[in-house]
Amino acid sequence: MIDFRFEIIIEYLPFFMKGMLWTIMMSLIGVLMGTILGFFIALGKMLPSKLLRLPFIWYINFFRGTPLLVQLFLFHFAVLPAILDSVNPIVSVVVTLSLNSAAYVAEIFRAGIQSIDRGQAEAAHSLGMNKIQVMRYVILPQAFRRMIPPLGNEFIVLLKDSSLGAIIAAPELLYWGRAATGQYYRVWEPYLTVALIYLILTLTLTYLLNYVERRFATT
Amino acid sequence: MISVKNLKKSFGDLEVLKDINVEIKPKEVVVVIGPSGSGKSTFLRCLNLIESITGGSVEIEGKDITAKKTDINKLRAEVGMVFQQFNLFPHKTVIENITLPMMTVRKWKKEAAIQKAKELLDKVGLKEKADVYPDSLSGGQKQRVAIARALGMEPKVMLFDEPTSALDPEMVGEVLEVMKQLALEGMTMVVVTHEMGFAREVGDRVLFMDEGYIVEENEPQALFGNPQHERTQAFLSKVL
Amino acid sequence: MNKLLKLLVLMSIILLAACGTDSKDKLTVATDAAFAPFEYMDKGEMVGFDVDLLAAVMEEAGFDYELKNTGWEPMLASVQGGDADLAIAAITINDDRKESYDFSSPYFESTHMVVFPEGENITSAEDIKGLKIGVQTGTTGADAAEKIVGKNDESISKYESNSLAFMSLGSGDVDVVVTDNVVASEYVKNNPEAEVDMINDQEAFESEFYGLMFPKDSEVRAEIDAALQTVIEDGTYAEIYEEWFGTEPNLDALKSASK
């Protein structure tokens, strides 16, 4: 720590920037797909029939109960090669992150929806609204407000989890940190820089989510 | 108007409604009284299928509400319901609470819905509260909005589930006043309540329920003045 | 609350003291035991060529030592920070790294192989240009490949480990893997069903040399380096080398590289 070699950081800065863009892109798609997928899994998990619920319950069990790294390996080396002509680590990371975060998002959605007082749905039904209308106009707007903080948490975790892509050579942020360490055998310069960039990204996300939360609190 | 035959309802092993039979005529105001746990709220909630039915039948205007071909949402729109806990939508303003079901269920145009909602708010005395959120209203005001919201669907019958039980005493009157007005206009009403004064003054008929049965029914004067069944007598001696 | 705080303070003091009282007469050697056959875990024991060589050198130099499996990055950090006195982990000596560390003379010559699916028409190192190349990040294989296609070129994928690079070769993620000869033969030995060929291009791939890694201005470096020379010259080195690699070492290459 006595001698901090800034020239290593400067040399690798363009790579860190490029890696950051991949990190942002993978995370954005992961968040988007995870949220959409998670919503439907949450609905599936709330189906009235026990048998129909089962696949959704096990989807969540699998993705929450096994290491993300192993899931990444499974998709990158087994599942995706069987489906796609050519594998690409970025695609593998995006797919794995989306599916994985969908499991967590599903639980956030379910908890949010079930936290709304039953009287709300009863009142809406008593007025003649159908299930979809009750969900869309009454339950979800209220549930969503409560889901913003845990969703924000999940998005931050997802952003950092995207760094696992480094292991299968997806050229994201941490990948370039490792590459710089590999070249100079120095740990602190690359990793602290990478950590700082992650911090900037997560702080930006945090402020964004706080803004959304305030917006929803006032309407 | 409403015809209930052999209605049964169980929650698991607990049989809450054992054998309910009653006919409710158009423009009639029927008040349901009884000790807590007697099944009176459950009975009311079975009438619009907020609670599913275990056995027997409920017909509204000749339509069996549990029949497969009955569109339950369409039917519920014809049956207004007012809850003990108001159940206003907290994320919507007062006027939006009223216009939302008009626009989604009745498919009214926004302008028409707002026009109608304003009339209803005027009717319940809350014209100036149109654009506030329910959180800033008192309990009595909330319940009056809830009544206006139900009326927005132009229902043929209104169900009231202990509408004043969650209110501070000084607010009970303003809600009962609105209900009385409705009765005078000829609305068919089924009211579960502990307000014996209201039952006596507004009710055409009073049902006394206990342990899942309608034990006794009569005109208010007769039931309150000369109860026949000993359980009715015991209950009335406690509440009057 | 107060009691809990006191307990916490006490515990931290004990913890700090435990870290601080590492006896100075015993050398701490850091390694990353995940690189067979140089150093790896065999049923919980650290074994390998480096492990045996280190034992011989330390005996010759007369040092007590403790070999700690710290993992790669902690190994680098602890040598840089002086917490470890040296590291041995098939570490390649090069100029970039000499800026931050001191090294012993070379103790191992590493040459490189291009590994590719059977039947591909690859005859020289130059043929990997334009192909997707897999390497392990921070290895001589990575350096060797970068010397041909350029540093951090987009065609190079740097994996966490050689096994992941080879898996990616199997799944078609990359077209070739560049790695050192020892790792390549180890892979073929352990995966006989993998249908791969490999070539060795002595001209294009310069040899790389492994060395013991010390903090800058290490006080023990000279002594240990002298002991290493003795071990190489008295035949102990060759014995260990043959035991692990089954062939004789090229001592001339080591000698000429150390000058």
The overall average pLDDT reported for chain A is 92
For the record, the structure tokens of C198 come out as 């490999």
C98: in domain? yes
B79: in domain? yes
The overall average pLDDT reported for chain C is 87
**Res C22: pLDDT:** 45
Longest dimension (CA), chain B: 56
Q: Is A87–C138 a contact, with Cβ atoms under 8 angstroms apart? A: no
Asked whether A and C share 3 or more beta-carbon pairs under 8 angstroms, the answer is: yes
For the record, the structure tokens of C27 come out as 């050398």
C254: in domain? no
CATH of the domain at C168: 3.40.190.10
**Which residue from A178, A186, A188 is facing C158, i.e. has the nearest CB?**
A178
pTM of the predicted model as reported, rounded to 2 decimal places: 0.79
B175: in domain? yes
Provide, as residue numbers in chain B, all residues whose Cβ is less than 8 Å from the Cβ of A129: 73, 101, 104-105
Interface mutation vs chain B, best among A116, A117, A127, most B CBs within 10 Å: A127
Report the number of distinct structural domains present in chain B: 1
Rounded distance, CA C20 to CA B178, Å?
81
C87-131 tens-digit pLDDT: 999 998 988 899 999 999 999 998 889 999 998 888 988 999 999
B61: in domain? yes
Bridge partners for C46 per DSSP:
C41
CATH code that applies to domain A6-217: 1.10.3720.10
Asked whether B and A share 3 or more beta-carbon pairs under 8 angstroms, the answer is: yes
Q: Is the pLDDT of residue A41 over 60?
A: yes
**Res C181: pLDDT:** 85
Report the number of distinct structural domains present in chain C: 2
Reported as type and span, the H/E element at residue A205 is helix A188-218
Q: Provide the CB-side half-sphere exposure for C210 (13 A, CA).
A: 21
Q: Do C16 and C143 sit in the same domain of this protein?
A: no
B105: in domain? no
Chain A's closest residue to B99, CA to CA, is A127
For the record, the structure tokens of B136 come out as 């800033």
Domain that holds residue C116: 112-199
Q: Do C91 and C16 sit in the same domain of this protein?
A: yes
C37-50 tens-digit pLDDT: 899 888 888 999 99
Q: pLDDT tier at C13 (50, 70, 90 boundaries)?
A: low
**Res B207: pLDDT:** 95
Closest-CA distance, B117 to chain A, in angstroms, reads 15
Reported as type and span, the H/E element at residue C73 is helix C72-80
Q: Which residues 202-241 of chain C have a CB within 8 Å of chain A?
A: 213
Question: Per-residue confidence of chain B (240 residues) as pLDDT tens digits?
Answer: 899 999 999 998 999 999 999 999 999 999 999 998 899 999 999 999 999 999 999 999 888 998 888 899 999 999 999 999 999 999 999 999 999 999 999 999 999 999 999 999 999 999 999 999 999 999 999 999 999 999 999 999 999 999 999 999 999 999 999 999 999 999 999 999 999 999 999 999 999 999 999 999 999 999 999 999 999 999 999 887
Count interface pairs A-C at CB distance under 8 A.
82
Rounded distance, CA A34 to CA A24, Å?
15
Indicate the pairing of strand B188-192 with strand B157-161. Answer: parallel
A68-110 tens-digit pLDDT: 999 999 998 889 988 888 788 999 999 999 999 999 999 999 9
Asked whether C and B share 3 or more beta-carbon pairs under 8 angstroms, the answer is: no
Cα of B117 vs its chain's centroid, Å = 20
Nearest alpha-carbon partner for A116 in B140, B144, B87: B87
* Helix ranges, chain C (H): 2-20, 49-61, 72-80, 95-98, 140-149, 162-171, 181-190, 221-233, 236-245, 251-258
Nearest alpha-carbon partner for C144 in C187, C88, C197, C184: C184
Q: Is A122–B48 a contact, with Cβ atoms under 8 angstroms apart? A: no
| More confidently predicted of B57 and A216 | B57
Q: Is B83–A119 a contact, with Cβ atoms under 8 angstroms apart? A: yes
Q: Is residue C148 a contact partner of residue C128, using CB atoms and an 8 Å limit?
A: yes
**Res C162: pLDDT:** 86
Q: Do C74 and C49 sit in the same domain of this protein?
A: yes
C83 SS3 class? coil
Q: What are phi and psi of B17, to 5 degrees?
A: -115, 125
**Res B120: pLDDT:** 95
C199 SS3 class? strand
Q: Do C103 and C125 sit in the same domain of this protein?
A: no
**Which residue from B83, B89, B101 is facing A128, i.e. has the nearest CB?**
B101
B160: in domain? yes
Rounded distance, CA B181 to CA B173, Å?
12
What is the DSSP secondary-structure string of B136-171? Answer: GS-HHHHHHHHHHHHHTT--SEEEEESTTTTS-HHH
What's the DSSP call for residue C92? B
Q: Do C39 and C166 sit in the same domain of this protein?
A: no
Q: Tokens 């990575």 correspond to what residue? A: C142
**Res C243: pLDDT:** 93
Domain that holds residue B65: 2-89+156-237
**Which residue from A125, A129, A145 is facing B50, i.e. has the nearest CB?**
A125
Q: Is the pLDDT of residue A160 over 70?
A: yes
CATH of the domain at B201: 3.40.50.300
Q: Do C48 and C95 sit in the same domain of this protein?
A: yes
Cα of C218 vs its chain's centroid, Å = 20
**Res C8: pLDDT:** 66
Rounded distance, CA C57 to CA C214, Å?
15
* Helix ranges, A66-172 (H): 68-74, 80-83, 89-114, 118-126, 131-133, 140-161
Q: Do C16 and C103 sit in the same domain of this protein?
A: yes
Q: pLDDT tier at C32 (50, 70, 90 boundaries)?
A: very high
A113-129 tens-digit pLDDT: 999 999 999 999 999 99
For the record, the structure tokens of A27 come out as 């995370």
Residues of chain C with pLDDT > 90, as a percent, come to 48
C156: in domain? yes
C258: in domain? no
Q: Is the pLDDT of residue C147 over 70?
A: yes
Provide, as residue numbers in chain B, all residues whose Cβ is less than 8 Å from the Cβ of A126: 48, 50, 76, 79-81, 83, 150
**Res B82: pLDDT:** 96
Instruction: Say which residues have a Cβ less than 8 Å from residue A175's Cβ, sequence separation at least 6.
Output: A19, A165, A166, A169, C158
Q: Is A167–C164 a contact, with Cβ atoms under 8 angstroms apart? A: yes
With DSSP H G I counted as helix, E B as strand and the rest as coil, what are the percentages for chain C, rounded to 5? 40, 25, 35
Residue C98: how many CB atoms within 10 A of its CB?
Answer: 13
**Res B17: pLDDT:** 93
Q: Is C158–A76 a contact, with Cβ atoms under 8 angstroms apart? A: no
What's the DSSP call for residue C67? E
Reported as type and span, the H/E element at residue C26 is strand C26-31
B199: in domain? yes
C3: in domain? no
Q: pLDDT tier at A45 (50, 70, 90 boundaries)?
A: very high
